[in-house]
């Protein structure tokens, strides 16, 4: 009778996420609670999106917004009964000498029953910059629902998934049910800026906060489909470079100096143009030497993944990709390095026709690293290549190249028991087996956890492939947000069952 009333309510209340297949027992009651309270969960997401927690722009006002965001999250966890420790993270010194405080890291825990498994969830609450002028169709900091899609900066990356975990916990609490597992949360506010100070906190807490942790879960990724869930077992790393070409600090008038000097912009364009060819192949000598060889087992995994190339291309709004087959596209997204040119600092980029020759310009590009590439080796290869290309131009300008970020790739053992628990939870909530995929982006904390804490790391994403993280009109589907909250609840129960049955808990 209760399920029939629920179905009627959902039918009458337009705009709500349709309930998943009814579940039995405790999970059924938890899912029913989540369905009936989904408007409250969306309202909380709206309140969190409204905070402009931009960690990229080093502006005191935005840094204060980050502190406000972390304070709000800490209060939310305390309301659930968690013991919360707000750990100071020091300060950030900027290139101009300015110093800004780094927002604290939240360490929270719910339960310490030695008979239960302990699951630690990582999330971040900082976002990329966003403004209406960038091409957003609505205010990026005002949650806007259109056709079941929740638009706003941070909805999918990563405020929505963090809240989905909290929603799952709140459902157990509201029903006065004991949590099936001990839970720990580590939440930061500087992920988009390279997770400043986070590694230091993890190292310091290795034998304290993390000593009882069995599993670590990260939900900061996307599916490769619009409707089919996925589990992620690997990410690429990232080496970020700047290359500066300088003649002098002042710009030149092109009518006065054009034609009689080596222009920095021409040198820089030549340097950037030497990095990658039209087929996406990186032209830096030796760059592919360290890439792990492709095995038959790995190749079979790509073949098993469901990917509609036409849908993927349309949702990406791309005319065509560099490769024609599913396997080639997935391998070049996940298991081969890529080089992307991001921008030029110091060049004239305003509307109009300013006839200036920039006196100094800085190009920015990055290389996504894959197993078994080494960032320090890549750094030397890049610098050697740029010096060689620049020397051939016989320019009188000065060229300086440097690596500003060197983050390593990550691979998990997807035979660990928490991957089995996640597969079962997805099958229960979504009625399908997940795609087993990698992610072409970089999640620094995964490698940090793996190397320092030496526990199993699982990536359990909620977002659809077309969510547009970092882009204009970022969104999370209401369906993903609500069903994702149920997924985490089901995951708690599956981990508890495996733990009870004695299925391997990693050392």
Active site residues: 126, 191
* Cβ contact 39:76 at 8 Å: no
SS3 343: strand
The 10 Å CB-count burial string (b at 16+, else e) for 418-428 is bbbbbbbbbeb
Looking at residue 366, the DSSP 8-state letter turns out to be E
Q: Residue 227 is encoded by which pair of tokens?
A: 């409707």
Question: How far is the C-alpha of 296 from the C-alpha of 301, rounded, in Å?
Answer: 9
Q: Residue 7 is encoded by which pair of tokens?
A: 């179905």
* Cβ contact 469:156 at 8 Å: yes
Distance (Å) of CA 161 to CA 27, 45, 277: 19, 10, 37
Q: Residue 25 is encoded by which pair of tokens?
A: 């027992």
Q: Residue 283 is encoded by which pair of tokens?
A: 């032209």
Task: Measure CA of the first residue to CA of the last residue in the chain; give whole Å.
Answer: 46
Rg of the chain taking only CA atoms, in angstroms = 24
* Cβ contact 145:38 at 8 Å: no
Q: Could you tell me which residues are beta bridge partners of residue 83?
A: 109
Question: How far is the C-alpha of 342 from the C-alpha of 362, rounded, in Å?
Answer: 11
* Cβ contact 178:112 at 8 Å: no
Q: Could you tell me which residues are beta bridge partners of residue 318?
A: none
| Secondary structure, 3-state, 246-313 | ECCCCCEEHHHHCCCCCCHHHHHHHHHHCCECCCCCECCCCCCCCCCCCCHHHHHHHHHCCCCHHHHH
Distance (Å) of CA 475 to CA 50, 137, 158, 197, 222: 14, 12, 11, 29, 12
Q: Could you tell me which residues are beta bridge partners of residue 105?
A: 87
Helix (H) / strand (E) element for 485: namely helix 478-501
Signed CA dihedral, 26, 30, 35, 37: sign only:
positive
* Cβ contact 221:160 at 8 Å: no
Distance (Å) of CA 35 to CA 30, 76, 321, 449, 479: 9, 20, 39, 34, 10
* Cβ contact 412:234 at 8 Å: yes
Rounded to an integer, what is the distance from CA 58 to the centroid of its chain? 20
Question: How far is the C-alpha of 465 from the C-alpha of 437, rounded, in Å?
Answer: 12
């Amino acid at each position: 009778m209760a399920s029939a009333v629920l179905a009627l309510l959902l039918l009458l209340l337009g705009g709500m996420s349709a309930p998943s297949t009814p579940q039995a027992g405790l999970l059924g009651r938890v899912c029913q609670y989540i369905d009936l309270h989904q408007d409250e969960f969306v309202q909380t997401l709206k309140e969190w999106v409204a905070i402009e927690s931009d960690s990229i722009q080093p502006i005191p006002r935005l840094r204060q917004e980050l502190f406000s965001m972390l304070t709000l999250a800490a209060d939310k966890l305390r309301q659930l009964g968690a013991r919360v420790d707000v750990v100071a993270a020091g300060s950030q010194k900027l290139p101009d000498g300015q110093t800004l405080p780094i927002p604290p890291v939240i360490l929270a825990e719910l339960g310490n029953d030695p008979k239960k498994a302990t699951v630690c969830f990582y999330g971040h609450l900082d976002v990329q910059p966003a403004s209406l002028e960038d091409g957003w169709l609505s205010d990026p900091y005002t949650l806007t629902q259109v056709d079941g899609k929740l638009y706003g900066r941070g909805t999918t990356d990563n405020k929505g998934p963090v809240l989905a975990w909290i929603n799952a916990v709140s459902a157990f609490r509201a029903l006065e049910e004991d949590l099936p597992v001990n839970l720990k949360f580590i939440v930061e506010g500087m992920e988009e800026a390279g997770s400043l100070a986070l590694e230091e906190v993890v190292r310091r807490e290795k034998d304290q906060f993390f000593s009882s942790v069995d599993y670590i879960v990260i939900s900061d990724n996307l599916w490769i489909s619009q409707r089919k869930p996925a589990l992620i077992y690997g990410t690429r790393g990232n080496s970020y470079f700047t290359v500066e070409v300088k003649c002098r600090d002042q710009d030149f008038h092109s009518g006065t100096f054009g034609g009689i000097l080596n222009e920095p912009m021409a040198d820089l364009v030549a340097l950037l143009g030497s990095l990658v060819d039209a087929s996406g192949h990186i032209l830096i000598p030796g760059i592919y030497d360290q890439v792990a060889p492709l095995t038959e087992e790995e190749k079979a995994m790509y073949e098993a993944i469901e990917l509609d190339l036409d849908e993927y291309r349309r949702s990406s709004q791309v005319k065509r990709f560099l490769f024609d087959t599913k396997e080639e596209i997935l391998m070049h997204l996940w298991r081969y390095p890529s080089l992307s040119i991001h921008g030029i600092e110091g060049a004239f980029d305003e509307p109009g026709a300013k006839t200036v020759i920039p006196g100094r310009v800085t190009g920015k590009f990055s290389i996504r690293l894959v197993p078994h590439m080494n960032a320090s080796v890549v750094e030397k290869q890049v610098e050697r290549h740029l010096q060689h290309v620049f020397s051939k131009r016989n320019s009188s300008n000065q060229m300086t190249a440097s690596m500003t970020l060197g983050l390593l790739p990550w691979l998990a053992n997807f035979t660990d028991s928490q991957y089995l628990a996640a597969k079962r939870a997805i099958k229960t909530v979504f009625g399908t087996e997940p795609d087993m995929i990698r992610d072409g982006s970089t999640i620094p904390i995964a490698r940090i956890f793996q190397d320092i804490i030496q526990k199993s790391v699982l990536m359990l994403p909620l977002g659809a492939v077309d969510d547009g993280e970092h882009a204009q009109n970022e969104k999370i589907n209401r369906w993903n947000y609500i069903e994702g909250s149920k997924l985490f609840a089901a995951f708690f129960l599956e981990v508890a069952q495996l733990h009870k049955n004695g299925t391997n808990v990693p050392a």
